[in-house]
Structure 1
Amino acid sequence: MDSAAVPGGQRRCPGPASPPAAPPPPRAPQERSPFRHVRYENLVGGLSGGVLSTLVLHPLDLVKIRFAVSDGLKLRPKYNGILHCLATIWREDGFRGLYRGVTPNVWGAGASWGLYFYFYNAIKAYKTEDRLEGLGATEHLVSAAEAGAMTLCITNPIWVTKTRLVLQYEAGIDSSKRQYKGMLDALIKIYKYEGIRGLYKGFVPGLFGTSHGALQFMVYEELKTKYNRYKNRQFDLKLSALEYITMAALSKIFAVCATYPYQVVRARLQDQHNRYSGVVDVIRRTWRKEGVHGFYKGIVPNVIRVTPACCITFVVYEKVSHFLISLKNGG
């Protein structure tokens, strides 16, 4: 009878063949958390960048809004240019005047950038979950528009409050003559006298304005991707601060030039010194009285402000979020 070798050099007779092992039972599909793509690092990074850039450049935002609503009403101050506007505000209301409306602006910019990056990165991660490559230009555009609409639903009341505070120019340094004493007072009074509708004035043009952020993020993401491909690097590789600044500036200038008229329409709807029946009324009256030029009032101080503001925001966001993610991963 034949024998079979076993460990230790001993030999034994083979027994009956053992039955094949049963296959393991199939694993139940692992449930995926609906919040698996939500990262607080993106929220903190965006909030940090938005707050810092707003604190540095708020006076230029104030100038932009005052030029945007300049429709010929007698109560409005007349300015010959950006420097004249800044000098006039400084002379009449001091340093405090240059930062009128800064509180809701900081809240609004911080919340908007934080929520925007928060929603945008979650949407982008969800769409690229089972893909090796990043999103295309159209997908970036749609993702950014979705994130912008979600953010605006939360932050529109803050922007109405900021506009009202920035346009309190008739009181000068006498605070007792001001219609609103601060952000909270403005929110309460707008709700009391105008209701929810008052807090959401300018929402429609603001919703259209999500195209601004969508175009900006599309160009920003495409520039990063194509630059990394040009350098033969991974498409989502971290860049240097100078590279982020360059791409943020180019994408912002493109978005501003493409969508600025909606900001004029929104500011005029939110202005407490004039009354419009809606978006169409603003467009019709602006076109009749001021022509095409009316839709681009304030664009120069806006470009001067938003370009460095965007660079600061994006660099701070990228650095803070990458730092927090590496810290979380133990790196």
Structure 2
Amino acid sequence: MSSAPDHGGVTEARLSSKPVSAVSLAGQMQQVFNHVKIENLVAGLSGGVVSTLLLHPLDLVKIRFAVSDGLDVRPKYSGIFHCMKCVWQQEGVRGLYQGVTPNVWGAGASWGLYFFFYNAIKGYTKEGRQTELSAGEHLVSAAEAGILTLTITNPIWVTKTRLVLQYNADQTSKQYKGMVDALVKIYRHEGLPGLYKGYVPGLFGTSHGALQFMAYEELKRDYNKYKKVPSDSMLNPLEYITMAALSKIFAVATTYPYQVVRARLQDQHNTYNGVIDVISRTWRNEGSIGFYKGIVPNLIRVTPACCITFVVYENVSRFLLGQNK
């Protein structure tokens, strides 16, 4: 997931944007929680799990290309299908699904929490208003939801990256037996900072989700206006797929380099001194193209994944919310 700006104080600043005193902050928080719906969590989680299970092999390919910086330990692949064929021949289906457990946990939790926080923040912002939220308000709501979600899920993404980058040809790199083993060993050897490697570029990555959700909301609203129906009217699956695909392509094209930086920081085969070091070394050794390695398998994976997630989310949330009315 991708993973959707850039500091933890955004939510606090947002909460204080309404004219209230500091004494009433607790009351404001209560207002936000009044808009929390467990149905959004369940629906988002369902969409994330389904899309991840179907498309995990493409995520594995994307990460392997993203970190391909010439180290001898890494297998050499000539393209997407060559990579998948090599992994299949060496390790079978199991090889293509290396890292799937933290990916399912991470994607499920990320999408579930993202929709959970996003709808609560959006509902709070709109409270008492007759007008629709602006594109900027959708952007900020999604960014805040992304920061909260990333803070909770970053350790899961670190374990997924480590597991995906265990190459069969290098048995010494196979140091993790699974998700829990990876979490324990990373914490034991690297402490809490090890579990939060890639967090800073991940914060920038919240702009990815923010741009995607802003585009998705604006496309839906404008389309419903064009059809002259209420802005929150239900669309058919093909319409949801179209809106989700367009918004995802827009977000990926805008923010992809952060994913390369993040994956390289989390990689166990190389050592960087931070985000600036990754950027400078990638630029020096590989040029601008280095920041877009893996973008083709990423687009092939995330576009249908996003479409599946949003279609499942919209339908499951409508069903659950309808059941509780």
With the length of structure 2 as denominator, give the TM-score of the two structures: 0.90
Cα distance in structure 1, aligned partners of 2:174 and 2:74: 15
Q: Which residue in 2 is equivalent to 1:246?
A: 242
Amino acid aligned to 1:281: D
| Pairing of 1:46-61 with structure 2 (within 5 A) | 46-61=44-59
Q: In the TM superposition, what is the alpha-carbon distance from 1:237 to its structure 2 partner?
A: 1.3
Post-superposition Cα deviations, 1:208-265, rounded to whole Å, max 9, x if no partner, equal 0000000000000000010111111111111111111100000000000000000000
Post-superposition Cα deviations, 1:73-102, rounded to whole Å, max 9, x if no partner, equal 011000000000000000011110000000
Cα distance in structure 2, aligned partners of 1:243 and 1:51: 22
Q: Which residue in 1 is equivalent to 2:318?
A: 322
Q: In the TM superposition, what is the alpha-carbon distance from 1:50 to its structure 2 partner?
A: 0.1
Post-superposition Cα deviations, 1:142-189, rounded to whole Å, max 9, x if no partner, equal 0000000000000000000000000000457x7x97200000000000
- Give percent identity, aligned residues only: 74
SS in 2 for 1:233: coil
**What is the RMSD computed on CA atoms of the aligned residues?**
1.3
Q: Which residue in 2 is equivalent to 1:190?
A: 186
| Pairing of 1:1-150 with structure 2 (within 5 A) | 33-34=30-31, 35-150=33-148
Cα distance in structure 1, aligned partners of 2:71 and 2:212: 34
- For structure 1, list consecutive stretches of 5 or more residues without a partner in the other structure: 1-30
Cα distance in structure 1, aligned partners of 2:178 and 2:86: 22
Q: Which residue in 1 is equivalent to 2:17?
A: none
Q: Which structure shows the higher helix fraction?
A: 2
Amino acid aligned to 2:238: L
Q: In the TM superposition, what is the alpha-carbon distance from 1:138 to its structure 2 partner?
A: 0.5
Q: Please identify runs of 4+ aligned residues in structure 1 that moved more than 6 A.
A: none
The count of residues paired between Structure 1 and Structure 2 equals 297
With the length of structure 1 as denominator, give the TM-score of the two structures: 0.88
| Pairing of 1:272-283 with structure 2 (within 5 A) | 272-283=268-279
Amino acid aligned to 1:293: I
Amino acid aligned to 1:297: K
Q: Is the 8 A contact 2:102 2:156 kept in 1?
A: yes
Q: Which residue in 2 is equivalent to 1:219?
A: 215
SS in 1 for 2:287: helix
SS in 2 for 1:60: helix
- For structure 2, list consecutive stretches of 5 or more residues without a partner in the other structure: 1-26
Q: Is the 8 A contact 2:158 2:266 kept in 1?
A: yes
Cα distance in structure 1, aligned partners of 2:235 and 2:77: 42
Q: Closer, same or farther in 2 for the Cα pair 1:177/1:66, shift >3 Å?
A: closer
Q: In the TM superposition, what is the alpha-carbon distance from 1:133 to its structure 2 partner?
A: 2.3
Query: Of the two, which has the highest radius of gyration?
Result: 1
